[in-house]
């Protein structure tokens, strides 16, 4: 017994002197690049904290965003992935506690002359000491995996709200384009009737009749195509909400023109704010802990244990509390030869860590690129819209004037068709640009690490 206790004491001493700290294998210089003090693209031209979100957050949109957050199947999967990681963390933490098991056996032995019954009841306790911090590294990696899953889930929530907003206003855009096509089809029909009537009276030639009739059929065809696109856009929105794509959802809204202005902060804040960057960082730290865990698999492992039990020929006597048989043990195991398997596993995990470092940097600079592009595009779209708005006004006047001159015999009908085409392109561009401004503003808000989940579904309801 004294020898056993000395072995246990020696093992405990090893644990104390070795400690349980984990070494970091991350190249800090590699994964912490120098960042600029401000965004390079037009950030200084943007005003701060204009309530642009309120311009798009209609009551219906808020309701649809809430439905999507509760019913979208992809988002529910990620929520369940978080719960899986929580259970994995419980499994990992259990390794720090002793494991207690009970065993009950019953048998019958004998020969030709006699038979005997043997019954035994045992309680076994085993515990692995975390000498080198191996179990701590494994638990740390599991905890970081949970944080990664939670960050991925939060990013997915933000992305879903952004997708719902974009899909919602894509439906609104398609509705406005349908109305535009309907007006153009009706105008083409009226023009055809006027010119056909003039042809009957000998005022217009047959070519003009054919041209106007062709224009009417073209506009009618475009109208049917746009109505089909509208139905497809509605189904896209319905699927984001986790429902059946029946194309029956009714959207009642108009395209707002968003003002310039969004709080951009500084680049270094993005790392702390954006869930996808947090996820990439947690994933890198998790791999770092995995490297440490794999490295320490090559070190000796110490397990302590004990057992108490009783045995007898009568089964009922096992439960009388007489556990007179007991034992304790300490076991030290260490790998000696495994053909380089453990060393190769360690090197493999180190190489994966270097890959993760590059992946993190790629994600980081990709996030900066998204912000710079969205900032530049936000200012550009505003200028494009103002220019296109002027173009639309001129095109509408030219369309009206050209038809009047045609009726007076001063212009050919091809001039009218050209003016109508220019007018249509300008009107379509105005509608699409308003939608692009909304979509890019949402993308910019996401790129800056904005919390659309809270900003749209909660804050704007107040």
Distance, in Å, from the CA atom of 14 to the CA atom of 334, rounded to the nearest integer, reads: 14
Residue for token pair 């384009």: 177
Closest CA to 263 of 66, 48, 30: 48
- pLDDT at position 461 is 42
Tokens representing 213 are 């009739």
- pLDDT tens digits for range 243-294: 999 999 999 999 988 877 677 778 888 888 899 999 999 999 999 999 999 9
Paired residues of 333 in beta bridges: 301
Domain boundaries, the chain: 21-100+132-300+341-461
* CA nearest to 451, candidates 263, 275, 258: 275
Coil, helix or strand for 238? helix
- The span from the CA of 317 to the CA of 117, in Å, is 12
Number of C-beta neighbours around residue 25 at 10 A: 18
Q: Is 428 helix (H, G, I), strand (E, B) or coil?
A: helix
- Among 165, 386, 161, 133, which residue's Cα sits nearest to residue 259? 386
CATH code of the domain occupying 21-100+132-300+341-461: 1.20.1600.10
Any bridge partners for residue 306, and if so which? 125, 328
Burial group, residue 249, by CB count within 10 angstroms (0-12, 13-18, 19+): middle
Short-list 428, 449, 371, 445, CA closest to 56: 445
Which ranges in 20-102 belong to alpha helices (H)? 28-31, 52-56, 59-71, 73-93
Q: Each residue of 332-372: pLDDT tens digit? A: 888 888 888 999 999 999 999 999 999 999 999 999 999 99
**pTM for the model:** 0.84
**pLDDT 10s digits, 33-53:** 888 888 887 655 555 544 677
pLDDT above 50 for 459: no
Measure Cα distances from 324 to 121, 123, 329 in Å.
11, 12, 17
Element (H, E) at 301: strand 301-312
pLDDT confidence band for 312 (50 / 70 / 90): low
Q: Please give the Cα distance from 201 to 156 (Å, whole number).
A: 66
* Residue 12 banded pLDDT, cuts 50, 70, 90: very low
pLDDT of residue 450: 77
Predicted local distance difference test score (pLDDT) of residue 75: 97
Q: What are phi and psi of 340, to 5 degrees?
A: 80, 10
For residue 365, the Cα-to-chain-centroid distance in whole angstroms is: 18
Q: Label residue 315 by pLDDT band (50, 70, 90).
A: low
DSSP-assigned beta bridge partners for residue 101: 124
Helix axes 413-447 and 206-240, enclosed angle (nearest 10): 10
Q: Which helix (H) or strand (E) holds 306?
A: strand 301-312
Q: What is the pLDDT of residues 122-147, one digit of tens each?
A: 888 899 999 899 999 999 999 999 99
Contact of 178 with 74, CB cutoff 8 Å: no
> Which pair of structure tokens corresponds to residue 426?
């300008």
Bridge pairing between strands 115-129 and 325-333 = unpaired
**Coil, strand or helix at 286:** helix
- Specify which residues 102 forms β-bridges with: 123
Instruction: Give the model's pLDDT for residue 314.
Output: 63
């Amino acid at each position: 017994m004294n020898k056993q206790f000395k072995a246990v004491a020696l093992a405990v001493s090893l644990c104390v002197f070795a400690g349980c700290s984990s070494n970091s294998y991350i190249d800090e210089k590699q994964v912490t690049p120098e960042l600029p003090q401000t965004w390079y693209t037009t950030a200084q031209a943007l005003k701060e904290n204009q309530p642009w979100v309120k311009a798009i957050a209609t009551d219906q949109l808020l309701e649809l965003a809430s439905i999507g957050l509760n019913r979208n199947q992809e988002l529910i999967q990620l929520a369940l992935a978080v719960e899986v990681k929580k259970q994995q963390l419980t499994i990992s933490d259990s390794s720090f506690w002793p494991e207690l098991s009970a065993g009950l056996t019953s048998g019958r032995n004998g020969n030709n002359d006699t038979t005997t019954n043997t019954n035994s009841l045992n309680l076994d306790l085993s515990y692995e000491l975390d000498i080198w911090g191996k179990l701590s590294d494994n638990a740390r990696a599991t905890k970081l995996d949970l944080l990664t899953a939670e960050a991925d889930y939060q990013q997915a929530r933000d992305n879903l709200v952004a997708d719902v907003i974009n899909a919602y206003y894509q439906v609104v855009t398609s509705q406005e384009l349908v109305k535009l096509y309907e007006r153009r089809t009706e105008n083409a029909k009226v023009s055809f009737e006027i010119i056909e009537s003039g042809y009957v009276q000998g005022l217009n030639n047959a070519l003009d009749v054919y041209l106007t009739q062709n224009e009417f059929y073209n506009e009618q065809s475009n109208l049917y195509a746009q109505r089909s696109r509208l139905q497809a856009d509605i189904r896209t929105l319905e699927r984001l909400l986790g429902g059946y794509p029946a194309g029956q959802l009714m959207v009642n809204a108009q395209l707002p023109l968003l003002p310039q202005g969004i709080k951009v902060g500084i680049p270094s804040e993005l790392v702390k704010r954006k869930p996808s960057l947090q996820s990439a960082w947690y994933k890198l730290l998790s791999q770092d802990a995995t490297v440490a865990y794999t490295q320490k698999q090559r070190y000796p492992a110490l397990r302590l244990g004990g057992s108490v039990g009783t045995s007898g020929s009568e089964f009922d006597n096992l439960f009388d509390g007489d556990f007179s048989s007991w034992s304790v043990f300490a076991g030290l195991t260490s790998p000696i030869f495994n053909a380089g398997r453990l060393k190769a596993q360690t090197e493999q995990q180190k190489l994966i860590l270097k890959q993760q470092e590059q992946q993190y940097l790629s994600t980081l600079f990709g996030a900066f690129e998204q912000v710079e592009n969205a900032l530049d595009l936000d200012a550009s779209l505003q200028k494009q819209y103002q220019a296109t708005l002027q173009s639309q006004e001129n095109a509408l006047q030219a369309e009206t004037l050209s038809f009047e001159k045609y009726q007076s015999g001063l212009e050919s009908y091809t001039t009218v068709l050209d003016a109508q085409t220019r007018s249509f392109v300008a009107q379509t561009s105005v509608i699409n640009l308003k939608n692009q401004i909304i979509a890019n503003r949402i993308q910019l808000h996401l790129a800056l690490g904005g919390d659309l989940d809270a900003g749209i579904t909660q804050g704007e309801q107040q």
